[in-house]
Chains A and B, each alone.
Chain A
Amino acid sequence: MSVLARSVGNAFRNKIRTAAVVAVLAVAIGLALSMLVANQAVGARIEELNASVGTTLTVNPAGGQGFEGGGEPLTAGEAAAAAAVPNVTSVVGTKALRLRTETTTTTDSTGAAGGATQPGAGGPGGQGASVTTSLTAAVDAGTLGNRNNSGTMNGTATNGTAQAPAFSLPITATGTAAEVDSTGKALDITSGTGLGDYAAASTKALVGTTLAEKNSLKVGSSFTIAGKTFTVAGTFDAGTTFGNNAIYLTLAEAQALAGTPGELSSMVVTVNSMENVDSTKAALQTALGTDKADVTQGQRNLETAVSSLNSVKGISLVAYIAALATAGLIILLIMVMLVRERRREIGVLKAIGARNRTIGVQFVLEALVLVALGSVVGAAIASFASGGIASALISSNSSTAATAQGGPGGFGGGFGGQGGPFGGATQLLSSVTASASPGVIAAGIAAVFAVAVVGSLVPALLTARIRPIEVLRGE
């Protein structure tokens, strides 16, 4: 019989009590492990999101994303100022245009115009100049059109001619100074070529795949914007329905069409590394002035998603530590109780020559046996519960985020301005699957054992103070 065998034996001396202790420990350990798994999963998700946002910053005119409409538009001078900020590797200016189909009825154009003047309704609010095109939107207005139009149609509804399905959605035309989209990602050109020199005015255009299909456009086909004929140089795939209901022009061309040469509706600033993004964002904001420009990292709703995930991460970390401390406390109290109960027996061991160390080790091992059993049951609990716990944590948090975002999200939703990316963020939030990975569980159990050793050390040291004469005391 060894110290370990004796400890195992002692752990099972009172089976009912052992079962109760193991059950309580299992709950604490299971909770700790679940929280750890949730923490890890959320942490991994945050990194993923941050990586997807990448090293680009978006600069919009001050107030451009609010309801008030934009302030002063950005200019080429500001683009130069942004380029001069340290760690900035490139600045790409963009000019957004809202195109509406030429052949619209009066009622419809009222609706469309209403939509176009809605601040924040797609793209940088208030900055989208409205021009006509021969193209038809690839996105069916359908219910989206009804829903979004209902507010602005109120004034004209009395004439009874409101034909909601006939209402056509606007098409976004973006003038860009490089072959990137509004978030700084390279365009995925699926056929044809790019626009070549993006700085010069040109009648070449890139058309989104669905928009091209809807209007039977191929590379080389032509269409008109504001009466001017453009040729399709290539088609691109933005990966989303709304993203593909768009065209790209060269920056100079878009500025000319809008009649605002030198004006930018936004700038995409690329930073040299991930670590410098935060500091560069601040430096950029200072260089451009808060009254002139808003600097945001990637999509705003992604930031909201990340910050709500960060709070989930914080909560789960606190809960993990609390559950771990609870497990330690349970061990401490149980072992103190056992030491008191076995005073006389400890006296016997000392009377027959056991060292203090031997007895201390025996008690620590006994605690570890209880913790090992608790961990087995706790890990089982965690592997079943952690998914539910994590998604409960995340859904409660993302619903808060949704409420906060509800206004602009719902507003622009129909026009694809913010609805698309926001929907994506919700999807990201709910897709955090907290699978209990063996590595994380193992690390968590190691931490539980460390806490158990600390927790049982106090009672183990108490055994050193018991004197061998206890053996003669009556039971």
Chain B
Amino acid sequence: MIEVKDLVRQFKSGDRTIKPVNGVSFELERGSLASIVGKSGSGKSTLLSLLGALDKPTSGDVVVDGVSLAGLPDSKLTEYRRRDIGFVFQQFNLIPNLSALDNVMLPMEFAGLRKAARAQRARELLAQVQLDSGKHQRRINRLSGGEQQRVAIARALANEPKLILADEPTGNLDEQTGEHIIELLSSLSRDHNTTILVVTHDRSLARRADRRFRLLQGALNEEAAARN
């Protein structure tokens, strides 16, 4: 369970301060699939970075399974990112000179998994996101945008995180592949009790969400659930 309490993140640009996240509060049950929409520059990525402990809020707190992130030292936040969080970045942020396989293995290496075990799991994950096995050893900068996006998703799943934070995970995919990814994410939340928060403008993904939010002028508003 994740509780967000009156979260504020402000930036100073020149003599102006902007508050893309300005008093956001919500709770998410374990295993739920939630979506966030909002205009470009509305603060969606900023909100995800606060939930994933990449950044620290100006005020407010995120409580994960009863543990307040605000009270944790940096080393514990690193551990939280490694064990509990799977992040799919809007810009993918893969390591360009490593192969697809090595990129997926990286979080497992940090978690101390043995080499054979991580290679096997990385191959399974890449198969799950439908990356051709011929491309597993290919360097990231020789893969297409959509292929890179799928490697990024596989990497986020590597350490079986409790919470997946995905920023536009289907933005670069064709309809069919996108559909497959949506199916993969919703099965994770359904069958593996993984909490998933996606920033998306993909209607078909938003339709699958248990909860739907809209970020507007720093505030997060829940929209009526329309499950089918």
Q: A1 vs B79: C-alpha distance in the bound complex, in angstroms?
A: 21
> Which residues from B are CB-within-8-Å of A100?
none
Question: A228 near B: Cβ within 8 Å?
Answer: no
Q: A454 vs B83: C-alpha distance in the bound complex, in angstroms?
A: 33
Question: A19 near B: Cβ within 8 Å?
Answer: no
Q: Which of B82, B83, B111 gathers the greatest number of chain A CB atoms within 10 Å?
A: B82
Number of B interface residues in the complex (CB < 8 A): 31
> Which residues from B are CB-within-8-Å of A471?
54, 89, 93
Q: Is the CB of A352 within 8 A of B81?
A: yes
| In the complex, per-residue mask of B48-74: 1 if CB is within 8 Å of any chain A CB, else 0 | 010011110000000000000000000
Q: Is the CB of A352 within 8 A of B54?
A: no
Question: A315 near B: Cβ within 8 Å?
Answer: no
B111's nearest neighbour on chain A, judged by CB, is: A353
B52's nearest neighbour on chain A, judged by CB, is: A351
Q: Is the CB of A353 within 8 A of B83?
A: yes
Which of these, A13, A344, A345, A354, contacts B110 with CB under 8 Å?
A354
Q: A355 vs B81: C-alpha distance in the bound complex, in angstroms?
A: 10
A464's nearest neighbour on chain B, judged by CB, is: B74
Question: B97 near A: Cβ within 8 Å?
Answer: yes
Q: A351 vs B115: C-alpha distance in the bound complex, in angstroms?
A: 21
Question: B17 near A: Cβ within 8 Å?
Answer: no
Question: B218 near A: Cβ within 8 Å?
Answer: no
Q: A143 vs B102: C-alpha distance in the bound complex, in angstroms?
A: 83
Q: Is the CB of A472 within 8 A of B98?
A: no
Q: A13 vs B82: C-alpha distance in the bound complex, in angstroms?
A: 26
Question: B95 near A: Cβ within 8 Å?
Answer: yes
Question: A358 near B: Cβ within 8 Å?
Answer: yes
Question: B129 near A: Cβ within 8 Å?
Answer: no
> Which residues from B are CB-within-8-Å of A2?
109, 115
Q: Is the CB of B54 within 8 A of A351?
A: yes
Q: A6 vs B96: C-alpha distance in the bound complex, in angstroms?
A: 12
> Which residues from B are CB-within-8-Å of A355?
75, 78, 110
Binding site for B on A (CB under 8 A): 1-2, 6, 9-10, 13, 344-345, 348-356, 358, 467-469, 471-472
The 10 closest A-B pairs by CB, nearest first: A353-B82, A469-B55, A468-B54, A1-B102, A348-B93, A353-B110, A353-B81, A352-B107, A469-B54, A354-B110
Binding site for A on B (CB under 8 A): 45, 49, 52-55, 75, 78-79, 81-83, 85, 87, 89, 91, 93-95, 97-98, 102, 105-107, 109-111, 115, 155, 159
